[in-house]
Each structure stands twice: as structure tokens, then as C-alpha cells.
């Protein structure tokens, strides 16, 4: 054999390249799971295609019929195994017991391959076409066509029968995908026509190669073999077809160049196309997805935007509702249920749902120590019930059987674990999609990303709820701590009215007939009773914590009311109270009870600072105009007590910071000033402190003199359709028993 026996044929280049790539793809699939019979048969299929294309490409380069005939006999050896390998792959893929027919087919293919090599009437000769030599089938090839079409027909029959009997969405979609893929690849049989003398260019390698690439990627990366994925991936590979044709035309137009120059030009063109294709392929993929599957494209965008937005939502009830509603709206799932771990119940409880039997779903009793929760935590990825049924639910695997039973009880086809760090805070159950469509790998990846974001958002929202409840209880405890002082003032205030009432009751029997006495004393008693009633209402309002309720209130009235309650204690401690209240002072939007709590905290702290030697307590209210022209109300509370050390002053608003350690009787919680700071911040105001040791301390409060933005009533969004939200029971916050700060 000399170089004169072969010449470069531009029509052979794409065949040779695609044959080599097909063989590499088959090896990759085989290496991904060498124990899988389906993967082994797919390797045989790819090897047969590679032998067919490789030998054909060399035969096209032959310059003599004898050389071409030898290679065409070899390429038909590969053709003999294609149909049998496809049948074997299909049988394993469909999980059908066909081993006897598979080995019979391989035996027949081997006999036919030997006949091709050693019989002259199988490949009788060659045809000469414009693209080069091509094999000519002889009379002995009839058994091959019988075997080829019999095994192909048997494979297609198995696909159709299995598709009709399978009811699970994943298997139906898998079967539909592979059946459609190989039906398109069957266009490769057009290469039989030129073998019988028809002048038709053998383009069959193009659909076979493209579908081999798509199926390989689907096996290696997308285990569910999504049909939409197949269409979009095939579309993105379509530029390879015009490029191949352009390469053929380029080589034909430059055929007068030397082989080395021509090869360099073709290689350069391939490199340039590859660079451009890699750069624009993601954009092309996105554009085709948007054009071919607009609903899925919109769903991806919606879920992606929602996963970024929900981490900023700290309203737990609203967040639960939005997660369920978004999944139902975007993916159109009939049944969705969201479970979160409830600390008080000690188990995962149903929090939100759509389309499920709430009584049945709420009957699920799952703790964090059960096998179901452990499996979700270990996997930390979507758990598909159908995959467990086919792959992992073996008779002796009690854990997987328990997981399957739990998923069935919750009517869950896909379960999304909500894992944050090392904790399973909950999970989302998704039912069937409409028309029994299955969840593609892209959708599962997106759902996993959504679940990761949801876990963080829900965990943050639950921590925020716990924090709010703890703040509520701390504030309530701080109010009750102040009631001791208020009770002293209340006793003093009630004593005088009770004296007049007692006097009236004692004198009434003897002076019943004295109209002047009865009328005048009746008015006095009525006023005193109203006074007692108002005092009782004040104490009850102060002790009862409610949500902030902003209303127009006079700060002078609030200050005077608080000073009224501490007058008795101030007189006992030798403290003189001075008040300088601006008059008139227009009402501002505040929460009356919260502002009372702020002032009582500051006044009691001032009294405590002067309890040893007495002193002077000064309270001032005034208007303040800032540089930006805004009007503010300023309240100053100053004492002449012991003062605060300079090193302690920056920390007085820190939670649990206190300097009251003189005795266990007066030990401080370190929360009073922290609550003051927080309440003033909620009123969009400021609080500052200045102090000198041995001379006293002054606290300055500033509140904006304008309607507060939080005066709008809170409205809850009603659930729509069948969406139901189960409110979370606030956790019980245990009393803080640790030591206070320095």
C-alpha cells in the first residue's frame, strides 16, 4: 500500500472526526459505571458506530476500488452490531428480561461480521459517486437486513409496550426521550440507499452523531433524561451541522493546495469556530430555552428571583405562605406541604400547604431522631420517591422502606430538605406535576438552590420570631419590676380618697336628712371613686404589654403622670423633684405605654443613684429645631447622684450590662436602658447620656415632632384558594438566670 492508493477527501473528514468522538463518548459512559450492563451495551453501540464511520472515511479516501472495498467490508462489521447493541441497551434500560435474545443477537452479529470479511457476495463491490467510492451490497446481505430490522422492531415494540404500562412520570418521560432520540437517529439508515445504487449523499452519520452526544450527556450529567433538555441541547448543537458543511465546501474550494496547507487551514478554521462557539453557546442555549420553552424559562427566572428576595423576609407566617404559593404558581404542582421543626411540640409540624388533606398531613409525627429526618439531613438534596423505589428500596433496607412509607403517607413525589448548617429545620413535599410530567435535573438543581435559600430565610425568620418573643417577655418583666414603685405611689394616692369615702359612710346614717351634707359629700365621693378608677386603669395599662399602638399624645401629660407615681418614694429618699415643662406642647405620635416605660426606667435609675444622700431630680421638656429645619421634642432627665464611670458610659445601653451589684436585693438585670434605647429607636428618636462621677447623670431624649410612619394599621394578607397557613406557636422563653455584665 502506497500513498498513491489514498488521497485527502473532504467528505471523509467529518465522518472520521465524529467516529472518534463517538468512541470517546462510549468510553466515558462505560467508565462512569462499569458494572452497569446498560453502559456496557452502550459502549458496544458506540464502538460499532465508530468502526462504521472510521472505516468508511478511510474508504472514501481510497483511490482504487480494491482498497476501498477492503475498508468497506470492515465498516460493515461495525454495522452488524449496531442494531443488536441498541436492542441490548434498550432491554437493560427498560429492565426487561431479554438476556437470551441479547446473546443470540450478538452471536448472529458475529457470524454476519465473519461473513462480511470472508464472503465476496456480502459486499459485492463498490459504487463510484461524486463524493467517492461507496460499498455495494450483494445477495448474501439479506440475512443482515432480516436481523437488523427484527431487532430494531423488537426494541421499538418493547418501548411502546413499556410506555403504555408504566404510570410513574419519570419512567414515562425517560422512555419517551430515548424512543424519540433513537427514532431520529434511525435516519442514519438512509446510508443503505447509496449501497443499492441510489445517488444520495450518506448524511446518516450526522443525526446518529448528534443524538449520541445528547444521550451521552444525558446519561452522564442528567440522569433523568429530560425530553425538553434533549430538544434544547440538540438545538444548541445545530451550529455543528452548517459548520461541517462549510468545512466540506472550504476543503473542496481549496483542493488545489498541498495536503499540509489544506490541513492547516482546516485546523485553523476549526479552532476559530470552537472559540466562537464556546463564547456564544450559553447565550444561544438561553435564547433557545426562552423561545422553545417560555413557561419553563419564566419559571426558572421567577424561582431564582424569589430565592434571592426571600432571605430579606423576616415575617415567618408570610414567608411560609410565599414559599408554598410561589412553588404552586410557578411549577403548577397540585399538592405542596411545608413542615418546620416546632420546638414546643418536639417534632416537625405542618405549617403551610396547598391541595393536601390537612388532617392527614398534620397526623404525621416526625422527630429529628427518626430515620426519615436523618436521611434528609445526610443527603441534603431533593429526594425523589420513584428513584428510591427503583434504585435503593431493597427488601432488607428497612431505613429506605421507612422513608418510602413516609413519603407515600405525605403524598410526596419529591421531598426538598431544608438544611441550614448541620440542622434539618424542615422540608417541603411536592406532589405530581400536571399531566404526570417529571422533574428534570435542571428543575431539581433549581429547587435545591431554592431550598438552600429557603432554609436560611426560614431559620432567620424563626430566630427573629424568638427574638421578638424574648423582647416582649423582657419588656413585660421590666414593667412588672417597676410596679413595686408604682404600687407605693398608688397606695399614697388611694389613701386620701378612701379617707373621704370612709368618712362619708360613717356620717351618712346620722346625717341622712341633711340635704346640703348629702349633696356636697356625694360629689366628693364620686370624684374620689373616679380618681381611684383612673389610677387602677393606669396600673393595668402599664402592666399589660400590647403591640405598639401609636396615637397623638401630650408628652407633658406622660411626664407628669410618671412623676406623680414616684413622688412618695422621692420624699422618702429626700429627693427634690423639679420639672420645667414647655407650655404649650402639641401632641405627637407615640405609644403612650412604651413612653411611660422609658420614662419610668430613667426616673427609677435616677432615684436609685441618689438613694444614699438624696438630691435633686430635674425633668425638662422643650422644643428643638435642628440644622435641617426639622422640629423635635427634647426631654431631659438629670440627677445629682453618684454618676457613671467613664469606662462604663459607652456600654450602658448594651443588653445585660449593669453596675448594680451592691446587694442581691438591688441587683440589676442590665436590660432597662437597653429597652429604653430600643423603644426610642422604634419611635425614630435618639437617646444620649452624659455623666460625671460624683456630680450626676443626664439623659436626653429626642423625638420627631411629626406623624409616625408606623401608625398605619397592620393588615394580614388573606390566603387565596386552598392555601392554608398554620400560625407558629411562640416559644416559651425561660427567664435569664445568668450573671449580669460587669
CA distance 404 to 453: 26
Band of pLDDT at residue 137, cut at 50, 70 and 90: confident
Q: Which of 467, 486, 516 delimits the end of a domain?
A: 467
315, 418: one domain: yes
Q: How many CB atoms lie within 10 A of CB 201?
A: 14
11, 59: one domain: yes
How far, rounded to the nearest angstrom, does the alpha carbon of residue 140 sit from its chain's CA centroid? 63
Q: Is residue 504 part of a domain?
A: no
Residue 396: pLDDT over 80: no
Encode 596-605: b = buried (16+ Cβ within 10 Å), e = exposed: bbbbbbbbbb
**How confident is the model over 41-84, as pLDDT tens digits?**
888 988 988 888 888 888 888 888 888 888 888 888 888 898 89
188, 251: one domain: no
Residue 620: pLDDT over 60: yes
Band of pLDDT at residue 641, cut at 50, 70 and 90: very high
Could you please report the per-residue DSSP string of 46-68? HHHHHHHHHHHHHHHHBSSHHHH
Residue 395 sits at the vertex; the CA angle it makes with 390 and 401, to the nearest 5 degrees, is 70
Domain range for 447 = 309-467
Residue 227: pLDDT over 80: no
Place of cell 396547598: 354
How confident is the model at residue 661, as a pLDDT? Answer: 47
CATH code of residue 360: 3.30.450.40
Contact partners, residue 685, CB within 8 Å, separation at least 6? 701, 702, 703, 704
Band of pLDDT at residue 700, cut at 50, 70 and 90: very high
Q: Which three cell numbers stand for residue 608?
A: 436609685
Q: Is residue 288 part of a domain?
A: yes
Q: Which three cell numbers stand for residue 442?
A: 435542571
Crossing angle between the packed helical segments 37-61 and 205-220, to the nearest 10 degrees: 150
3 or 599, greater pLDDT: 599
Residue 723: pLDDT over 50: no
Region of residue 337 (phi > 0: left; psi between -120 and 50: alpha; otherwise: beta): beta
Query: Picking from 36-40, 631-635, 707-711, which range would have the lowest pLDDT averaged per residue?
Result: 707-711
Band of pLDDT at residue 734, cut at 50, 70 and 90: very low
Q: Which of 467, 488, 509 delimits the end of a domain?
A: 467
733 or 532, greater pLDDT: 532
* 333 close to 430: Cβ distance less than 8 angstroms: yes
465 or 196, greater pLDDT: 465
What percent of the chain clears pLDDT 90, i.e. is strictly above it?
Answer: 11
Q: Is residue 182 part of a domain?
A: yes
Task: Give CA torsion, residues 51, 54, 55, 59, to 10 deg.
Answer: 160
258, 159: one domain: no
Mean pLDDT of 112-141: 82
CA distance 122 to 394: 50
Band of pLDDT at residue 639, cut at 50, 70 and 90: very high
Contact partners, residue 522, CB within 8 Å, separation at least 6? 504
Query: Picking from 209-218, 392-401, 634-643, 726-735, which range would have the lowest pLDDT averaged per residue?
Result: 726-735
Q: Is residue 426 part of a domain?
A: yes
What percent of the chain clears pLDDT 70, i.e. is strictly above it?
Answer: 69
Band of pLDDT at residue 427, cut at 50, 70 and 90: very high
Q: Is residue 505 part of a domain?
A: no
313, 345: one domain: yes
**How confident is the model over 552-597, as pLDDT tens digits?**
999 999 999 889 888 888 888 999 999 999 888 889 999 888 898 8
Question: Can you name the residues that pair with 125 across neighbouring β-strands?
Answer: 136
652, 683: one domain: yes
Residue 288: pLDDT over 50: yes
- pTM exceeds cut of 0.85: no
Band of pLDDT at residue 735, cut at 50, 70 and 90: very low
Q: How many CB atoms lie within 10 A of CB 512?
A: 10
CA distance 235 to 284: 9
SS3 416: strand
How confident is the model at residue 104, as a pLDDT? Answer: 92
How confident is the model at residue 585, as a pLDDT? Answer: 85
**How confident is the model over 255-274, as pLDDT tens digits?**
666 656 766 776 677 777 76
CATH code of residue 685: 3.30.565.10
68, 199: one domain: yes
How confident is the model at residue 193, as a pLDDT? Answer: 75
669 or 180, greater pLDDT: 180
How confident is the model at residue 274, as a pLDDT? Answer: 66
Q: Is residue 110 part of a domain?
A: yes
Give the H/E segment covering residue 289: helix 259-292
CA distance 419 to 173: 30
How confident is the model at residue 300, as a pLDDT? Answer: 62
Query: Picking from 219-223, 351-355, 514-518, 565-569, which range would have the lowest pLDDT averaged per residue?
Result: 219-223
30, 174: one domain: yes
Q: How many CB atoms lie within 10 A of CB 202?
A: 20
Mean pLDDT of 84-102: 87
Residue 406: pLDDT over 80: yes
288, 376: one domain: no
Contact partners, residue 278, CB within 8 Å, separation at least 6? none
Residue 636: pLDDT over 90: yes
Residue 347: pLDDT over 50: yes
Residue 597 DSSP one-character state? H
Question: Can you name the residues that pair with 589 across neighbouring β-strands?
Answer: 552
446, 586: one domain: no
- Closest-CA residue to 128 (of 175, 197, 77, 203): 197
- Closest-CA residue to 404 (of 382, 386, 381, 377): 386
Q: How many CB atoms lie within 10 A of CB 416?
A: 25
Band of pLDDT at residue 712, cut at 50, 70 and 90: very low
Crossing angle between the packed helical segments 142-165 and 65-93, to the nearest 10 degrees: 20
* 567 close to 619: Cβ distance less than 8 angstroms: no
* Count of structural domains, the chain: 4
Q: Is residue 506 part of a domain?
A: no
Residue 184: burial class (beta carbons within 10 Å; 0-12, 13-18, 19+): middle
- Closest-CA residue to 647 (of 693, 583, 582): 693
CA distance 101 to 506: 117
**Mean pLDDT for the chain overall:** 76
242, 222: one domain: no
Band of pLDDT at residue 329, cut at 50, 70 and 90: confident
Mean pLDDT of 394-406: 74
Residue 387: pLDDT over 80: no
CA distance 257 to 264: 11
394, 278: one domain: no
* 108 close to 144: Cβ distance less than 8 angstroms: no
Residue 498: pLDDT over 70: yes
Q: What are phi and psi of 432, to 5 degrees?
A: -65, 150
- Closest-CA residue to 582 (of 549, 625, 534, 550): 625
205 or 88, greater pLDDT: 88
Q: Is residue 252 part of a domain?
A: yes
Query: Picking from 84-93, 493-502, 648-657, 729-738, which range would have the lowest pLDDT averaged per residue?
Result: 729-738
Q: How many CB atoms lie within 10 A of CB 29?
A: 23
* 190 close to 202: Cβ distance less than 8 angstroms: yes
Q: Which three cell numbers stand for residue 514?
A: 341633711
How confident is the model at residue 13, as a pLDDT? Answer: 78
Integer Rg of the chain from CA: 43
Q: Tell me whether strands 123-129 and 724-725 are parallel, antiparallel or unpaired.
A: unpaired
CATH code of residue 151: 1.20.1070.10
Q: Which of 410, 436, 467 delimits the end of a domain?
A: 467
Amino acid at each position: 500500500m502506497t500513498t498513491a492508493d489514498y488521497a485527502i477527501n473532504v467528505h471523509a473528514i467529518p465522518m472520521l472526526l465524529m467516529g472518534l468522538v463517538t468512541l470517546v463518548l462510549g468510553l466515558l459512559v462505560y467508565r462512569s459505571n462499569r458494572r452497569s450492563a446498560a453502559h456496557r451495551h452502550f459502549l458496544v453501540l458506540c464502538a460499532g458506530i465508530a468502526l462504521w464511520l472510521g472505516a468508511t472515511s478511510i474508504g472514501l479516501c481510497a483511490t482504487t476500488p480494491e482498497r476501498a472495498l477492503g475498508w468497506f467490508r470492515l465498516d460493515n462489521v461495525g454495522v452488524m452490531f449496531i442494531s443488536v447493541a441498541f436492542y441490548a441497551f434498550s432491554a437493560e434500560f427498560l429492565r426487561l428480561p431479554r438476556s437470551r435474545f441479547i446473546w443470540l443477537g450478538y452471536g448472529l452479529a458475529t457470524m454476519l461480521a465473519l461473513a462480511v470479511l470472508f464472503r465476496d457476495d456480502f459486499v459485492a463491490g463498490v459504487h463510484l459517486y461524486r463524493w467517492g467510492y461507496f460499498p455495494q451490497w450483494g445477495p448474501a446481505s439479506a440475512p443482515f437486513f432480516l436481523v437488523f430490522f427484527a431487532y430494531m422492531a423488537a426494541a421499538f415494540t418493547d418501548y411502546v409496550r413499556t410506555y403504555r404500562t408504566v404510570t410513574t412520570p419519570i419512567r414515562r418521560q425517560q422512555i419517551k426521550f430515548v424512543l424519540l432520540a433513537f427514532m431520529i437517529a434511525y435516519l442514519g439508515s438512509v446510508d443503505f440507499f447509496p449501497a443499492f445504487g441510489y445517488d444520495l449523499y450518506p448524511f446518516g452519520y450526522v443525526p446518529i452523531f448528534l443524538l449520541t452526544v445528547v444521550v451521552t450527556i444525558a446519561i452522564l450529567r442528567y440522569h433523568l433524561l429530560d425530553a425538553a433538555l434533549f430538544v434544547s441541547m440538540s438545538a444548541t448543537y445545530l451550529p455543528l451541522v452548517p459548520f461541517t458543511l462549510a468545512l466540506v465546501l472550504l476543503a473542496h474550494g481549496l483542493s488545489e493546495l498541498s495536503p499540509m496547507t489544506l490541513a492547516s487551514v482546516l485546523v485553523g478554521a476549526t479552532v476559530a469556530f470552537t472559540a466562537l462557539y464556546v463564547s456564544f453557546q450559553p447565550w444561544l442555549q438561553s435564547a433557545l430555552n426562552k423561545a422553545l420553552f417560555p413557561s419553563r424559562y419564566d419559571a426558572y427566572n421567577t424561582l431564582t428571583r424569589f430565592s434571592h428576595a426571600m432571605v430579606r423576609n423576616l415575617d415567618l407566617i408570610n414567608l411560609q405562605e410565599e414559599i408554598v404559593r410561589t412553588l404552586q404558581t410557578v411549577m403548577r404542582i397540585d399538592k405542596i406541604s411545608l413542615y418546620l421543626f416546632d420546638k414546643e411540640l418536639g417534632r416537625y409540624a405542618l405549617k403551610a400547604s396547598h391541595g393536601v388533606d390537612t388532617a392527614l398531613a398534620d397526623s404525621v409525627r416526625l422527630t429529628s431522631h427518626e430515620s426519615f429526618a436523618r436521611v434528609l439531613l445526610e443527603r441534603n438534596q431533593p429526594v425523589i420517591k420513584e428513584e428510591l423505589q427503583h434504585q435503593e428500596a431493597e427488601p432488607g433496607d428497612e431505613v429506605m422502606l421507612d422513608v418510602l412509607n413516609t413519603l407515600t403517607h405525605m403524598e410526596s413525589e419529591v421531598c426538598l430538605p431544608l438544611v441550614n448548617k448541620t440542622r434539618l429545620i424542615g422540608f417541603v413535599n411536592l406532589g405530581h406535576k400536571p399531566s404526570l410530567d417529571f422533574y428534570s435535573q435542571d428543575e431539581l438543581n433549581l429547587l435545591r438552590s431554592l431550598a438552600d435559600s429557603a432554609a436560611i430565610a426560614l431559620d432567620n425568620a424563626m430566630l427573629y420570631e424568638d427574638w421578638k418573643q424574648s423582647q416582649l417577655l423582657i419588656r413585660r418583666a421590666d414593667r412588672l419590676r417597676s410596679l413595686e414603685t408604682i404600687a407605693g405611689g398608688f397606695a399614697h394616692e388611694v389613701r386620701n380618697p378612701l379617707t373621704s369615702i370612709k368618712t362619708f359612710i360613717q356620717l351618712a346614717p346620722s346625717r341622712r336628712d341633711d340635704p346640703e351634707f348629702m349633696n356636697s359629700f356625694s360629689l366628693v365621693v364620686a370624684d374620689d371613686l373616679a380618681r381611684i378608677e383612673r389610677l387602677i386603669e393606669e396600673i393595668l395599662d402599664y402592666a399589660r404589654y400590647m403591640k405598639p399602638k401609636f396615637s397623638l399624645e401630650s408628652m407633658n401629660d406622660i411626664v407628669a403622670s410618671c412623676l406623680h407615681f414616684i413622688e412618695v418614694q422621692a420624699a422618702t429618699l429626700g429627693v427634690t423633684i423639679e420639672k420645667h415643662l414647655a407650655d404649650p406642647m402639641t401632641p405627637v405620635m407615640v405609644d403612650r405605654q412604651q413612653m411611660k416605660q422609658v420614662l419610668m426606667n430613667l426616673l427609677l435609675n435616677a432615684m436609685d443613684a441618689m438613694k444614699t444622700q438624696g438630691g435633686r431630680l430635674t425633668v425638662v421638656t422643650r422644643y428643638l429645631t435642628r440644622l435641617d429645619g426639622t422640629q423635635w421634642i427634647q426631654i431631659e432627665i438629670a440627677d445629682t447622684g453618684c454618676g457613671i464611670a467613664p469606662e462604663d458610659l459607652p456600654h450602658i445601653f448594651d443588653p445585660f450590662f449593669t453596675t448594680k451589684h451592691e446587694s442581691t436585693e438591688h441587683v440589676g438585670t442590665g436590660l432597662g436602658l437597653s429597652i429604653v434605647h430600643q423603644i426610642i429607636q422604634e419611635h425614630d428618636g435618639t437617646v444620649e447620656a452624659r455623666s460625671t462621677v460624683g456630680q450626676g447623670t443626664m439623659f436626653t431624649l429626642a423625638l420627631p415632632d411629626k406623624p409616625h410612619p408606623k401608625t398605619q394599621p397592620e393588615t394580614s394578607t388573606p390566603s387565596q384558594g386552598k392555601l392554608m397557613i398554620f400560625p407558629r406557636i411562640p416559644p416559651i422563653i425561660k427567664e435569664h438566670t445568668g450573671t449580669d455584665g460587669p
